[in-house]
Structure 1
Amino acid sequence: MRLPFASAKLSLSALFFVTAPLLLQGCSEAPQQQQGQMHPAAVATMTMTPQDAPFTIELPATLSGSKEVEVRARVAGILESRNFEEGQRVEQGHSLFTIDLEPYQLAVDRAQAALDGANAALVQANRDVKRLAKLRAEKSVSQRDYDNASSAYDIAKTDLEAAKVALKQAQLNLEYAQVKAPVAGVMGREFVSEGTFVSGPDLLLTQMTQFDPIRIRFGLSEREQLQMRQDVQNGSLTLPEQGHWQTKIKLQDGSVYGKTGEVNFSDVRINPNTGTSEFQAIIPNPDFQLRPGQFVRIELSGAVRKNAIIVPQRAVLDNGTGKFVYVVSKNEQGMDVALPAPVTVGEWVKQPNNEQYQNFWLIKSGLKEGDNVIVDGMARIFFPGMPVNVGQSAANSNHAE
């Protein structure tokens, strides 16, 4: 009974050793057969062509009024009324305070009377000169009398001009007694109440802020400026003329403010604490939608990258060690396959006029003119060298994403 069992055991062992190599061979050939049977991935490509691309910078910024004005009286007197509400929007020339006008009106009347008297004295001196001139021609009066009359006439003319100046000064003081807004803006709080004696310019009455236009202040790092200068020198970048970058404002909710401005000032000094230099832009604010103290983001445009290679942002992948794109190439059998190409990217590039793509990466290195980059269908590529079927070509990179 034991001999047949042992014989059967031996037969099973022999069968295992015979069939095991066949099983292992079948397992090793399975992936190759699966790869050979895998259908090519349908993809869309874009041929790389150097082009001029817009160069933009996005930075945080702070808003401030274009003018911060201290309102002071130019003349002394009792403050009779305040003619604005705190926080009110006023136009240039609006009366803000009224100082007791009566003394200044009396001064105007007195100066007017003095002017009238000086004018009458001039008329009388003129008549005297004309009369004595005739008498002098007849030698009825002495030269001394004629000279005295001529001098009196000259003095009368000078007195008349002095009277005109005095009247103008009195009228100006009367106008100054109605303290007016020097600019259009929004009023702050009052510092002096009605009934207070105002001693003159040394006393601050209130403050106001001009909101239209509004000022944008931001810093640009020394490193970024150095890189831009280097790019300008090697011909890969052109900057706006005289540094007048076009400026857009992005609000906290992500919306874009409807009006644009431009940079009108850049400080040559570098702040040692921040490593940045200060820039300033002015932007219209007719509806007072923007307020001083707001934190916003700004987009500076107007510069151009020359002969740049750009690809749609979604075509650039990241494997954890760096960014890469898939490039269509031919394998040994002449089939189209997807091969990864490591790339170094720069800033984002926007092409808002393109319908298919709008956002791009600037490629600093890793691609060259003529490379056929896969821009759609990357999710169907399961391994490097996978066969692909280029079903369509995306728009040329000159007009894409």
Structure 2
Amino acid sequence: MQNTTKTICSITASLFVLTTLAACNKAPEKKERPPAPVTVIEIKPTDVPFSKEMIGETAGYRDVEVRSRVNGILLKRTYVEGQNVQAGQVLFEIDPEPYKAILDQAKGVLSQAASNLDKARADKDRITPLFKENAVSRKDFDDANAAYNAAVASHDAAQASVRQAALNLEYTKVTAPISGMTSKLAQSEGSLISANGESGKLTTITQYNPLYVNFSYSEQDRQELESAQRSGSVALNASGNFPAKLKLADGSVYPVTGQVNFSDNRVDTTTGTIRARAIFKNEKGELLPGQFVRITLDLGTLKNAISIPARAVVQSQADFLVMTVDKDNKVVPKPVTIRPSTDGQVIISKGLSAGDKVITEGQMKAPPGSTVKPMIASAPAASK
């Protein structure tokens, strides 16, 4: 009996050990991950501003070369390089002494011509009544009239010479033809200046206010815009009145809104683009000619457009994708065609439809095919 009891206890102990080992070797149960929370917006087509961004280059409203009209030695410069000057301000002085001498000589010739004219007039006045009384011959009368006419012509020529000499003397003081900013001096003081050729160029004046921004758009852009206008999907601003905004190289936005004031009527055969220009006020001189800027044109309104935040678009190599949520809350990627817009928004021209739910936040936690917990966010209102 005692042996039987020991045997039963031994078997019981062995079963306990086996049960414990089996429990230790049992794999833990796999827990399912809860659906990741994501923010989505529901697509609702609406009218949005239609804009186009391009690269432009600033240019002066007027660039005028200041040139000498007479030859001579450049005596002095009377302005500070790179500073603003006013129209009519004296900028340079060329040695006036040779032109003073020429003017004095011309005045002397004029005095002599005036004396000859007085004598010829007196001779004509004396001989005219004598000719009427047949006291002098026809030849003497004709000679007196011819001498008078020649004296008049000589006097007129002498007067013209005086005016020319006075004008040349005035040209020895080179003045600013327009108001604006001067560039670097082209000729130093003491140089021999010639009215012809490059030595006659003294400086350049640029009018900065207003300022032009030159840019180009493609022939394809023009055709697509005209097609969209005909189909009614785009409503352009009345009379082609296109406001323009500038973004500078540092990313800042120029505070003044400009206006497109020129578009060429032909396509450049070398580039396939059409030249255009906008004009901006530049009263503080913040813009300088030759700057590269980004110019955004406000063309009008895009009808029934699909606009989503730019952060919702994922780029995969050369394609663009957006992550959508289907009726079972599963993530479905959709390829889209985008058109840049403003204020952090992009326009979807292909790939999405009204009612689609697009993930705008939490894409990293929502791989394709996974189940998510969508939270609806209201779409941003389109800016007017």
* TM norm structure 1: 0.67
From 100, 106, 109, the equivalent of 2:95 is: 100
Give the structure 1 partner of residue 3 of structure 2: none
Within 5 Å, give how 1:259-338 maps onto structure 2: 259=256, 260=258, 262=260, 264=262, 268-269=267-268, 283-294=280-291, 296-304=292-300, 306-307=302-303, 309-313=305-309, 316-318=312-314, 322-324=320-322, 326=324
SS of the counterpart of 1:188? coil
Superposed CA offset, 1:102-143 (max 9, x none): 221232233344445545655655565555554444444444
- CA distance in 1 between counterparts of 2:64 and 2:380 reads 54
Q: What amino acid is aligned across from residue 321 of structure 2 in structure 1?
A: K
- CA distance in 2 between counterparts of 1:371 and 1:153 reads 101
The 3 A distance-change label for structure 1 pair 88 and 158 is same
Superposed CA offset, 1:205-264 (max 9, x none): 6433515255545566xxxx2441341353256788999965543333322234436474
- CA distance in 1 between counterparts of 2:134 and 2:42 reads 111
Cα deviation for residue 193 of structure 1 reads 2.8
Give the structure 2 partner of residue 349 of structure 1: 341
- CA distance in 2 between counterparts of 1:365 and 1:67 reads 45
- CA distance in 1 between counterparts of 2:301 and 2:64 reads 42
The 3 A distance-change label for structure 1 pair 234 and 2 is farther
Q: What amino acid is aligned across from residue 351 of structure 2 in structure 1?
A: G
Within 5 Å, give how 1:123-272 maps onto structure 2: 125=120, 129=124, 132-183=127-178, 184-189=180-185, 191-194=187-190, 196-202=191-197, 203-204=199-200, 206-213=202-209, 214=211, 216=213, 225-235=218-228, 247-259=244-256, 260=258, 262=260, 264=262, 268-269=267-268
Q: Contact 2:39 / 2:361 at 8 angstroms: preserved in 1?
A: yes
The 3 A distance-change label for structure 1 pair 400 and 372 is farther
Note the aligned Cα RMSD (angstroms).
Answer: 4.9
Q: What amino acid is aligned across from residue 251 of structure 2 in structure 1?
A: G
Matching of residue 359 in structure 1 with residue 344 in structure 2: yes
Cα deviation for residue 309 of structure 1 reads 1.5
Greater shift in the superposed pair: 167-176 or 96-105: 96-105
Cα deviation for residue 292 of structure 1 reads 4.5
SS of the counterpart of 1:234? helix
The 3 A distance-change label for structure 1 pair 288 and 57 is same
- CA distance in 1 between counterparts of 2:304 and 2:158 reads 74
Within 5 Å, give how 1:24-39 maps onto structure 2: none
Q: Contact 2:312 / 2:322 at 8 angstroms: preserved in 1?
A: yes
Cα deviation for residue 56 of structure 1 reads 1.7
Q: Contact 1:54 / 1:305 at 8 angstroms: preserved in 2?
A: yes
- CA distance in 1 between counterparts of 2:321 and 2:169 reads 74
Q: What amino acid is aligned across from residue 301 of structure 1 in structure 2?
A: L
SS of the counterpart of 2:103? helix
Q: Contact 1:348 / 1:361 at 8 angstroms: preserved in 2?
A: yes
The 3 A distance-change label for structure 1 pair 348 and 125 is same
The 3 A distance-change label for structure 1 pair 248 and 155 is farther
Greater shift in the superposed pair: 198-207 or 99-108: 198-207
Cα deviation for residue 306 of structure 1 reads 4.0
Q: Contact 2:322 / 2:359 at 8 angstroms: preserved in 1?
A: no
- CA distance in 2 between counterparts of 1:173 and 1:128 reads 36
Cα deviation for residue 388 of structure 1 reads 5.2
Q: What amino acid is aligned across from residue 250 of structure 1 in structure 2?
A: K
- CA distance in 2 between counterparts of 1:326 and 1:301 reads 31
Within 5 Å, give how 1:348-387 maps onto structure 2: 348-350=340-342, 358-368=343-353, 370-371=354-355, 373=357
Cα deviation for residue 325 of structure 1 reads 5.0
- CA distance in 1 between counterparts of 2:373 and 2:120 reads 113
Within 5 Å, give how 1:44-123 maps onto structure 2: 45=41, 48-51=44-47, 53-59=49-55, 61-63=56-58, 71-119=66-114, 121-122=116-117
Cα deviation for residue 361 of structure 1 reads 0.8
Q: What amino acid is aligned across from residue 253 of structure 1 in structure 2?
A: D
Q: Contact 1:262 / 1:283 at 8 angstroms: preserved in 2?
A: no
Cα deviation for residue 99 of structure 1 reads 2.1
Q: What amino acid is aligned across from residue 229 of structure 1 in structure 2?
A: R
Query: Percent identity over the alignment?
Result: 25
- CA distance in 2 between counterparts of 1:241 and 1:112 reads 64
Cα deviation for residue 174 of structure 1 reads 0.5
Greater shift in the superposed pair: 105-114 or 4-13: 4-13
Q: Say how many residue pairs are matched.
A: 364
SS of the counterpart of 2:170? helix
SS of the counterpart of 2:184? strand
